[in-house]
Amino acid sequence: MHPRRFSLRLLMAAIGCTALTTFTPVWAQQPASYPTKPVRMVVPYPPGGATDVIGRMIADKLGTQWGQAVVVDNRAGAGTTVGAENVAKSAPDGYTLFETTATHTVSASLYPKLNYDPIKDFTPITLTATIPLVLVTTPKIPAKNLDELVKWIKTQPGGASVGSPGNGSVQHLTGELFKMKSGFRCFP
């Protein structure tokens, strides 16, 4: 046998054995596949809204895919901060997920004394949905477009009421922006 060929074979065998013995302890320490217990998905809105429905659809699909229950836990209140604080205080073990909206990212500017950091205390995973904001009104209002609606509202002595899921929500802030740009008075 040629000495060089023997040395190359010996070197390759040595590298293989070294790699095998080096990584074997790591393989042995790998945890069982995730998840090994039910996963909790916190939704910071009451049951029945768009975020809750989307969260439940995702929980159902993940539960089927993982073979483990994914339980939706509605923690509504204070512009999503009740649910967010609950998640921020949970163990960072991957067994608590947070299905939220853009309201979460503006919380720091609306609530200066939060018990969590909306950016640093959370790890984004994926965008789950995009939902358009739509302005609608009752057919009793004589407006067929936005300009007519603004003109009509300005003629009303008490202004207009604007509905939203709650103070600090994206819908509420959009209504406030619309009010500022249109120059009329409204009540959330």
Q: Where are the domains of the chain?
A: 39-110, 146-187
Identify the residue with better confidence: 115 or 183. Answer: 115
Specify burial of residue 44 (Cβ count, 10 A radius: 0-12, 13-18, 19+): buried
pLDDT, tens only, 117-153: 999 999 999 999 998 888 889 999 999 999 999 899 8
Query: Token pair of 103, please?
Result: 């309201």
Identify the residue with better confidence: 13 or 130. Answer: 130
CATH architecture of 39-110: 3-Layer(aba) Sandwich (3.40)
Per-residue model confidence (pLDDT) at position 78: 87
How distant is the alpha carbon of residue 88 from its chain centre?
13
Per-residue model confidence (pLDDT) at position 109: 85
